[in-house]
Amino acid sequence: MKNIRTDSIEKLLNAIMNIEGKDDLYEFFVDVLTVKELKDMGDRFEAAIMLKNGENYETITKTLGLSSATISRVSRCINYGNGGYEKAINAMEKKQ
């Protein structure tokens, strides 16, 4: 985790944290990422939500079109990662 905390990533995260409004976030992410990269991020996040809700790999694959390898990676991050998915999902659910 140390090697990812570069000056440029710190600036990027600070900028994202200070963007106000969903439309401005869309504009930023569409500029920074390709449409496919943004869709892939959204699909991985949706897979994390589905895994948290007890969905199986087959259902997630049919719903999102993700490979079992991608779902497995998301699952490993949920179970053995830094807790990022869980924190993001909990924050989102808290605001809804």
Domain coordinates in residue numbering, the chain:
1-32, 34-96
Q: Is 44 exposed, middle or buried (0-12, 13-18, 19+ CB in 10 A)?
A: middle
Tell whether pTM > 0.85.
yes
Residue 4, pLDDT score: 87
CB-CB contact of 96 with 89 (8 Å)? no
The per-residue pLDDT string of the chain (96 residues; one tens digit each, 9 = 90 and over) reads 568 899 999 999 999 999 999 999 999 999 999 999 999 999 999 999 999 999 999 999 999 999 999 999 999 999 999 999 999 999 999 988
In whole angstroms, give the CA distance from residue 49 to residue 46. Answer: 5
- Portion of the chain with pLDDT greater than 70, in percent: 98
Domain 34-96: assigned CATH number = 1.10.1270.10
Q: Is 49 exposed, middle or buried (0-12, 13-18, 19+ CB in 10 A)?
A: middle
Residue 96, pLDDT score: 82
